[in-house]
Amino acid sequence: MKKTLYQKIFDRHVVHECDNELPIIYIDLHLIHEVTSPQAFDGLRYKKRNLRSPNKTFATMDHNVPTNSRNMYDATPMAKIQMETLINNCKNFNIPLFDLQNISQGIVHVVGPEQGLTLPGTTIVCGDSHTSTHGAFGALAFGIGTSEVEHVFATQTLRQARMKNMRVFVYGQKNNNIFAKDIILYIIKKLGTSGGTGYVVEFTGPIIKSMSMEERMTICNMAIELGAKSGIIEPDQTTFTYLKNKNFSPKNNSWNKYIHYWSSLKSDNQACFNRNISINISNIKPQVTWGTNPSQVISIQNKIPKINTLKTKIEKEDALNALDYMGLKENSYLINIPVDKVFIGSCTNSRIEDLRIVASVVKNKIISKNIKAYIVPGSGLVKKQAEKEGLDKIFIKSGFQWRHSGCSMCLGMNDDQLKPYERCASTSNRNFEGRQGKNGRTHLVSPWMAANIALYGKFININ
């Protein structure tokens, strides 16, 4: 039987399967952070269970860490408690922890790949929905709930239903200043926030194959915004080059053996996909969300759609509510609407490649006086590399706040938040109501677009 990449990885990890029961699969890597792990650790203690595989569990602090310092005591009271709890839990259960004093600390979905923990053909879980990011390496990666975190702690396995298979083939001629963020927003606009429900989505095609690993991670990061279980991309030489000599990557003779296996990780030619989608990105312009879910997207030069042009009653109701919340009008342009804050960071766009793009835009320029702009690197290593290249000096000279690593304003669990009715151009992945602060208004954009908005203090069309 011909199989898809997802099916090959899933089947290889089944440890138990019988009729009328969900399969149980083995988990190769369990990533944890300070927010979704405390109750799971408490569950272990209550049931007097041990951690099954401490060597397959890695922890970092990210969701609510302060980004203006590396002092845990500068955090909010709740964040401080959660970080202290994580430190104690990792010590008690012998789990490696990248804490605030560790140069490798950072956003969990940045840390895993850059440490070489994320490897092709593996199963990866984390108590965070954007675990799909790791699928860029040809891994089966998905977010889990706190009760599932406890189950993996105790057994290193998880009961999982088999998902349907979707292939999204991306082709065309990529225009200047169009980036992975624009492409995935365009795909979400086309398919909708439930278009991937029940599927693992394999992204393929010449555009995907030409992408760097950073770009591929952006694509898979936002697969969850399609409603998909996860996103996945076939590993290739780009993947192998990225992983070589990482801290936890295979070394010496083992490297060649792994390359041989990883090279087999591809969907068979005659594999059956439940759904096939082709997306031509030849004519797209920089994308920006206008509403309160990632599918409410337009090209920057286009108008917000008229309500009566939307297909379903639900879409129309959602659009009316979104326009009211965002303080916008149907059939109007975003161009020239003022922006209050710019946030460049998150597990979607906080890697060194993203920061280089921003620096190329703002070098020797000053951001608008009405803008507060934050650049939050995805990890201590990203920060170190940016400073080695002098990017931090470019950002600071331009008027940006150069922060320490963390999730920051992506979800506003620390002090990095929008004030009520402030409008933000954000490189993060969700524009839900209140996501970045109560009554805050979030517009998702690429790092390139965010940098330009910071310079002009408003939405502009300069492509």
User: Per-residue pLDDT tens for 54-91?
Assistant: 999 999 999 999 999 999 889 999 999 999 999 999 99
Q: Within this chain, do residues 378 and 267 fall inside the same structural domain, yes or no?
A: no
Annotated binding-site residue? 126: no
Q: Is residue 222 predicted with pLDDT exceeding 80?
A: yes
Phi, psi of 14 (to 5 degrees): -70, 125
* The predicted structure's pLDDT at residue 397: 98
Provide the number of structural domains found in the chain: 3
Which of 281, 292, 278, 280 shows the shortest CA–CA distance to 177?
281
Does 268 share its domain with 323? no
Q: 């192998």: which residue's tokens?
A: 240
Considering the domain boundaries, does residue 463 fall inside one?
no
Asked if residue 229 and residue 348 are part of one domain, the reply reads no
Domain with 178, as residue range(s), is: 164-280
What pLDDT, in 10s, does the model give residues 141-196?
999 999 999 999 999 999 999 999 999 999 999 999 999 999 999 999 999 999 99
Query: Mind listing the pLDDT tens digit for each residue in 417-429?
Result: 999 999 999 999 9
Domain containing residue 211: CATH number: 3.40.1060.10
Q: 268 with 371, same domain?
A: no
Please check whether residue 379 lies inside any domain of the structure.
yes
Q: What is the pLDDT of residues 395-405, one digit of tens each?
A: 999 999 999 99
Distance CA 183, CA 334 (A): 19
Asked whether residue 151 is domain-assigned, the answer is: yes
pLDDT of residue 428: 98
Tokens 């399609």 sit at which residue? 226
Was 90 annotated as part of a binding site? no
The answer to whether position 352 is within a domain reads yes
Q: In the predicted model, is pLDDT for residue 463 greater than 70?
A: no
Distance CA(438)–CA(199), nearest Å, equals: 32
- At 268 the pLDDT is 97
Q: How confident is the model at residue 414 (pLDDT cuts 50, 70, 90)?
A: confident
Same domain, 297 and 439: yes
In Å, how far are 113, 204, 218, 396 from 119, measured between CA atoms? 8, 19, 17, 35
Give the C-alpha separation, 170 to 280, whole Å.
6
Q: What is the mean pLDDT of residues 437-441?
A: 97
In this prediction the pTM is: 0.97
Look up the CATH number of the domain holding residue 98. Answer: 3.30.499.10
What pLDDT does residue 73 have?
A: 86
Q: Is residue 125, in this structure, part of any structural domain at all?
A: yes
Asked if 445 and 425 count as a contact pair (C-beta separation under 8 A), the reply is yes
Considering the chain, what is the average pLDDT of its residues?
Answer: 97
Are 325 and 275 part of one and the same domain? no
Domain C-terminal end among 130, 159, 188: 159
For 85-108, the pLDDT digits (tens) are 999 999 999 999 999 999 999 999
Q: What is the pLDDT of residue 417?
A: 95
Domain assignment present for residue 338? The answer is: yes
Q: How confident is the model at residue 267 (pLDDT cuts 50, 70, 90)?
A: very high
| Interval 215-228 mean pLDDT | 98
pLDDT at 462 over 90: no
β-bridge mates for residue 303, sequence order: 333
Among 109, 128, 159, the domain boundary falls at: 159
Final residue of a structural domain among 159, 182, 207: 159
Q: How far apart are CA 251 and CA 237, in angstroms?
A: 17
Same domain, 370 and 426: yes
Q: What is the rounded (10 degree) CA torsion for 399, 402, 403, 404?
A: 180
Question: Which tens digits make up the pLDDT trace of 120-142?
Answer: 999 999 999 999 999 999 999 99
The pLDDT tens digits for 25-64 are 999 999 999 999 999 999 999 999 999 999 999 999 999 9
Say whether 407 counts as a known binding-site residue: yes
Same domain, residue pair 261 and 389: no
**Are 372 and 434 found together in one domain?**
yes
**H helices present in 288-423, as ranges:** 313-326, 352-362, 380-388, 391-398
Q: What is the pLDDT of residues 347-396, one digit of tens each?
A: 999 999 999 999 999 999 999 999 999 999 999 999 999 999 999 999 99
CA gap 144, 139 in Å, rounded = 15
Longest CA pairwise span in the chain (Å): 65
